[in-house]
Amino acid sequence: MNRVSMKLSVMALSMAAVSGQTMAQDWSFNGSGFLTIAAGRVLTGSVDGKNELGLDCPCMISDYGQTSVYDPDWSLKPDSKLGLQGTLLISDRLSLTGQVVSRGSQDAAVGLEWLYMSYSIDDNNTVQVGRKRIPLFYYSEQQDVSFSYPWLHLPPQTYGWEAVNYNGINWNHMLSLGSWDGNINVFYGNETRSDNEYLKLYSGLDSESDTRWNNIVGAEMVMRKDWFEGRLMYLRSENQGRVVSDGEDWSASAVQHILGASAVIDHQNWLVVSELFVSDRTETYGRDLAYSLSVGYRMGDWLPMLTYGKYEQRITSDNPDGYIAEADAEIHDMISFTTRYDLTSSMSLKVQLDKWMDHSGSWFKENYGDATTLSFGLDMVF
We report the CATH number of the domain holding residue 177 as 2.40.160
Residue 230 placed within a domain: yes
Residue 197 placed within a domain: yes
Question: Is the model's pLDDT at 230 over the cut of 80?
Answer: yes
Work out the pLDDT band at 1, boundaries 50, 70, 90.
Answer: very low
Work out the pLDDT band at 323, boundaries 50, 70, 90.
Answer: low
Mean pLDDT along residues 129-147? 97
Residue 171 placed within a domain: yes
Confidence (pLDDT) at 112? 95
Question: Is the model's pLDDT at 17 over the cut of 90?
Answer: no
Distance CA 137, CA 277 (A): 8
Domain count along the chain: 1
Mean pLDDT along residues 2-18? 44
Residue 89 placed within a domain: no
Residue 30 placed within a domain: no
Q: CA end-to-end span of the chain, whole Å?
A: 27
Question: Is the model's pLDDT at 9 over the cut of 70?
Answer: no
Work out the pLDDT band at 318, boundaries 50, 70, 90.
Answer: confident
Residue 285 placed within a domain: yes
Confidence (pLDDT) at 321? 60
Residue 17 placed within a domain: no
Across the chain, mean pLDDT equals 93
Burial grade of 44 (CB within 10 A; 0-12, 13-18, 19 or more):
exposed
**Proportion of the chain above pLDDT 70, given as a percent:** 92
Confidence (pLDDT) at 53? 96
Q: Of the ranges 11-25, 106-120, 145-159, 208-222, which one carries the lowest mean pLDDT score?
A: 11-25
Mean pLDDT along residues 331-351? 99
Residue 188 placed within a domain: yes
Question: Is the model's pLDDT at 89 over the cut of 80?
Answer: yes
**ω into residue 135 within 30 of 0, thus cis?**
no
Choose between 328 and 140: higher pLDDT. 140
Mean pLDDT along residues 141-156? 97
Closest C-alpha to 213, from 284, 154, 278, 163:
163
Q: For residue range 242-296, what is the model confidence (pLDDT) as tens digits?
A: 999 999 999 999 999 999 999 999 999 999 999 999 999 999 899 999 999 999 9
Question: Is the model's pLDDT at 322 over the cut of 80?
Answer: no
Work out the pLDDT band at 11, boundaries 50, 70, 90.
Answer: very low
Full residue range of the structural domain in which residue 342 is found? 38-76+121-381
Confidence (pLDDT) at 24? 54
Question: Is the model's pLDDT at 20 over the cut of 50?
Answer: no
Question: Is the model's pLDDT at 8 over the cut of 50?
Answer: no
Q: For residue range 62-83, what is the model confidence (pLDDT) as tens digits?
A: 999 999 999 999 999 999 999 9
Closest C-alpha to 160, from 71, 41, 271, 291:
291
Question: Is the model's pLDDT at 22 over the cut of 80?
Answer: no
Confidence (pLDDT) at 308? 99
